[in-house]
Structure 1
Amino acid sequence: MDGTARTPTAYDPASVDRWAQEPDKRPGRTAFQRDRARVLHSAALRRLAGKTQVVTPGTLGPAWDASPRTRLTHSLECAQVGRELGAALGCDPDLVEAACLSHDLGHPPFGHNGEQALNEFASDCGGFEGNAQSLRLLTRIEPKRFTPEGSVGLNLTRAALDAATKYPWPRGAHPTDPASNKFGVYEDDRPVFDWLRKDAPGTRICFEAQVMDWSDDVAYSVHDVEDGLHAGHIDPNCLHADPERRDVFQVALGRYVPADTDPAELAEALDRLLAQEWWPHGYDGTAVAQARLKDATSQLIGRFCLAAETATRTAYGAGRLTRYAAELVVPRETRTECAVLKAVADLYVMQRAEQERLRADQRIVVAELAEALTARAPDGLDPQFRALFDRAADDRARKRVIVDQIASLTDTSARSLHARLTGQGRD
């Protein structure tokens, strides 16, 4: 264990272990302050500025093209939400913030659309999952610390890696849904995964990761609706009309709430939100309306976080809640309200016809780029990945390097590399 950094209160020495021991350059910091700083200064975090969050920058419309949300701004907003909620529940705030900043690092260009295309390409070498890729990046790809055996990535503490692990199981081992494509580790990365999960109770998600996950849900559900309203794609008046409401509920069923949820429950959740005096009724884009929309955003975040804090404290009482000492309790009504917001943004922003055409083109770019790199590698690989490709033991390992290379690209650099390798550009 690295004993030079202070162990934060309420965490045991095993929580601040690092895979590779190392001294602290600035004694006096806590181990989790070091973790947060490492993620904040990483190139992987900066690259999120060029990766799609929900819709591609430049496609929301003139009212919002100057400042679209990206994976980076989403991660920063998620970190702010998570830091405050975690601190209110007794978690170390630097630990939760580090997890929130890390949670999307492994996402490839073009968001979940790129993730789907890469998963198809990597089907015979372990698949692709953004959360598993985040762990791989934190523990292997991001160049920060090296041992004689090779890179150990950012070499974060055990607790930080665990807090960033939303799905602590390998592919096909979902504890309740074996058909789920959500997982948190590739087979190649099992040694460090097994180390970070040492003494963890089965597939139980640690408390800090649960705080991170809820903060992620809160941030993107609220902000996607804010962006959609600002861009003019969501008409708040439509949420009072029965046909539009039925469409929203249909999107929510099966995707954001269980498929057997009573639509009446969704209607009640939406009506609770619409009944709030701060809801941005009649949003028209004026300065006053924008201020009201920002207030509504703050009110929603506060509403969702306070509900979770109150319910969790009711269940567990006062004191510091950390690691495996508690479960985050989010009332069903609150989760349903959050799900309805996700469905509103999904229907009116993500399902626009031009977005689907763009997503189809993006999938082609990723598929053709993967094919071109497979045929020409190591040509086209960055020096870091070229070296890994040359050292790879077999075709499976070489294919994983190609996946790592593509996942590291921004939207723009993916299109640029695709054009260079295929000799064709796609608008």
Structure 2
Amino acid sequence: MEQTDPRTWRRDPASESAGFTDLATSPFRIDRDRIAASPFFARLGGVTQVVSAGGSGLLHNRLTHSLKVAQVARAIAERINSASDSAELAAKLGGCDPDVAEAASLAHDLGHPPFGHLGEQTLDRIARHRFGLADGFEGNAQSFRIITTTDVRGPSASGLDLTTAVRAAVLKYPWARLHVPDPHPTSMDVQPRGAAEPADAPGTGASKFSAYSTELDDFTQARAPFAGRIEPWQQTVEASVMDTADDIAYAIHDLQDFHRIGVLQHAPVAAEFTGWADHAAELAALDDATLTAERRLPGRSLERLRRRMHAKDGWIVDDDAFTSAVARVRDELVDGLLATGFDGSIEAEQATAAFSAKWTARLVDGVQVVASPSTRTGHLTLRPAQWHEVQVLKFVHRRFVLLRPELALHQRGQASLVTTLVDALDAWLLDRDEFYRLPRRLHDLVELARSEFSALARTSPELLIGATGEPVTGADAVRGLARGRAVVDFVASLTDKQAVTLLDGLSGRASQPWSDSFVL
């Protein structure tokens, strides 16, 4: 691939002259290596996937999840390129390089804060309500900020200096919360997945997005080579590969985890599936209010899933395919894997591995590249049978793991910890007598954010709006936004254990002035 190929463009192509060397020669392999060598990637080993692994090694963390997503993504990309028709279509749409898909998959969760999605929701609320940041916090946008701005692995010490193709492939939701592109996806009649505004926060912009206002220059540059090939709001093919691989890994591996530790029990899952299969027609006749009131009874949750799919994804949903998916998952997961509890035996390990391998192969086999997809999906999507199966597998995880009261109790405590930690760090930043003793990393993030927001105030003041939609003016107000972004950046860069250790220190509970789990 020649240097003139816009997919290989970097912000600073003079890496060698800057004294910076890479082991690989392929530009996309260089990107993959830089991501894998990043401390932000290493920290994912200490970040919750669903619940903290507690050192047991039995549960996926964000690092092992990312490695498996990368494995699946590479298999999908190679499969696309092995068939002449899909390879030709992918090339017309901008390309599908396995190294790009793998690199984007390794990078896709870099921005996840401590305690997984719970930490993400908490930091978003704090960023918008406490600091007035209209962009709030979003894990995907934070990943893009890391690879373009806050990591220092690249030659300019500003981001990783990745190629345009890899940066574009990380953009799972290729729009900003409010401004870009124009018209914004929130205004579309059928909005892309993730683009709808939160039901409880109208006017705040897209629920999911992949770039903050501070990274719009990098966003625009990354998307430039794909102009005229895909719509402004569409994922690149390589981003769709990453997104699909993420769905496949999530649908399978989290179920494995909770089967292994005994949380995912056969009896309640079997009751739900049997209740729906035996009474599907009767359940379909219930009105929504009755179905909601009876939601704890067997079969009702699957019926609610079927109705949500009709409401959101009419482009693909099919009742026969849904029935078949329920039957397959019931046969292979419920009456297969879950019917025999995991006891650590060779037989149990083999059954779990076989389940994972079989389902991964089946779902990867369902991948297809389409020329004119629905706005609800990318150019790469799953065939109807496999698409419905993924929805049912993810349903089992949500209904029988994520909605458990024990997990809610655990997460409320984690949300309180994150909130208290942000309060303590913000108070330290505002303490003039102690400001000079800030952790150096936090100090550097404050300086970076002040530079960024001051530049926005000079060049793009229309992007500086508060969480209420009002323009932000005046040096003090701009510095307030910068302080908020710096604190959020800092907390988001911690592992679960580092967050706990740091709060212990700030609250006076630590027994020593330093710890090997956190380096000030």
TM-score class normalised by the smaller sequence = 0.7 to 0.9
**Residue by residue, what CA displacement relative to the aligned partner does 1:310-333 show, whole Å, maximum 9, x if unpaired?**
x43xx57xxxxxxxxx92131233
- Shift of residue 152 of structure 1? 2.3
What does 1:17-416 correspond to in 2, within 5 Å? 17-23=9-15, 25=21, 29-58=25-54, 65-90=56-81, 91-123=96-128, 124-125=132-133, 126-147=135-156, 151-172=157-178, 173-175=184-186, 176=191, 177-179=195-197, 180-199=206-225, 200=227, 201-237=231-267, 238-239=269-270, 240-242=273-275, 243-250=297-304, 254=308, 258=312, 266-275=322-331, 279-280=336-337, 282-285=339-342, 286-308=345-367, 311-312=368-369, 327-377=379-429, 378=435, 382-390=439-447, 392=450, 393=454, 394-416=479-501
Q: Distance in 2 between matches of 1:415 and 1:292?
A: 37
Task: Give the corresponding residue for 2:86.
Answer: none
Name the SS of the counterpart of 2:211 in structure 1.
coil
* 2:329–2:393 Cα contact (<8 Å) kept: no
The AA in structure 1 aligned to 2:141 is A
Q: Distance in 1 between matches of 2:24 and 2:494?
A: 36
- After the TM superposition, which of the residue ranges 239-248 and 221-230 deviates more from structure 2? 239-248
**Against the structure 1 CA distance between its residues 191 and 331, is the aligned structure 2 distance closer, same or farther, given a 3 Å change threshold?**
same
- After the TM superposition, which of the residue ranges 23-32 and 257-266 deviates more from structure 2? 257-266
Gaps of 5+ in 1: 1-5, 59-63, 317-325
The AA in structure 1 aligned to 2:223 is R
**Against the structure 1 CA distance between its residues 409 and 69, is the aligned structure 2 distance closer, same or farther, given a 3 Å change threshold?**
same
Q: Distance in 1 between matches of 2:245 and 2:311?
A: 17
**Against the structure 1 CA distance between its residues 203 and 241, is the aligned structure 2 distance closer, same or farther, given a 3 Å change threshold?**
same
Q: Distance in 1 between matches of 2:304 and 2:437?
A: 44
* 1:55–1:350 Cα contact (<8 Å) kept: no
**Against the structure 1 CA distance between its residues 372 and 362, is the aligned structure 2 distance closer, same or farther, given a 3 Å change threshold?**
same
Q: Distance in 2 between matches of 1:418 and 1:379?
A: 19
The AA in structure 1 aligned to 2:62 is R
- Shift of residue 17 of structure 1? 0.4
- After the TM superposition, which of the residue ranges 235-244 and 298-307 deviates more from structure 2? 235-244
- After the TM superposition, which of the residue ranges 231-240 and 178-187 deviates more from structure 2? 231-240
Aligned residues: 396
**Against the structure 1 CA distance between its residues 350 and 28, is the aligned structure 2 distance closer, same or farther, given a 3 Å change threshold?**
closer
**Residue by residue, what CA displacement relative to the aligned partner does 1:39-96 show, whole Å, maximum 9, x if unpaired?**
11111110000000011223xxxxx934221000000000000011111112322111
Q: Distance in 2 between matches of 1:404 and 1:227?
A: 30
**Residue by residue, what CA displacement relative to the aligned partner does 1:382-417 show, whole Å, maximum 9, x if unpaired?**
413312314625111121111100100011111111
**Against the structure 1 CA distance between its residues 263 and 122, is the aligned structure 2 distance closer, same or farther, given a 3 Å change threshold?**
farther
**Residue by residue, what CA displacement relative to the aligned partner does 1:222-245 show, whole Å, maximum 9, x if unpaired?**
011111211222233533431544
* 2:321–2:384 Cα contact (<8 Å) kept: no
* Alignment TM-score, normalising by the size of structure 1: 0.85
Task: Give the corresponding residue for 1:420.
Answer: 505
Name the SS of the counterpart of 2:240 in structure 1.
helix
Q: Distance in 1 between matches of 2:326 and 2:436?
A: 53
Task: Give the corresponding residue for 2:288.
Answer: none
The AA in structure 1 aligned to 2:166 is A
* 2:329–2:392 Cα contact (<8 Å) kept: no
**Against the structure 1 CA distance between its residues 16 and 120, is the aligned structure 2 distance closer, same or farther, given a 3 Å change threshold?**
same
Name the SS of the counterpart of 2:185 in structure 1.
coil
**Residue by residue, what CA displacement relative to the aligned partner does 1:355-385 show, whole Å, maximum 9, x if unpaired?**
1111001111111111111111257854133
Q: CA RMSD in A?
A: 2.7
* 1:234–1:348 Cα contact (<8 Å) kept: yes
Identity of aligned residues (%): 31
* Alignment TM-score, normalising by the size of structure 2: 0.70
Name the SS of the counterpart of 2:337 in structure 1.
coil
**Against the structure 1 CA distance between its residues 290 and 26, is the aligned structure 2 distance closer, same or farther, given a 3 Å change threshold?**
closer
Gaps of 5+ in 2: 82-95, 179-183, 198-205, 276-296, 372-377, 430-434, 455-478, 511-520
* 1:248–1:344 Cα contact (<8 Å) kept: no
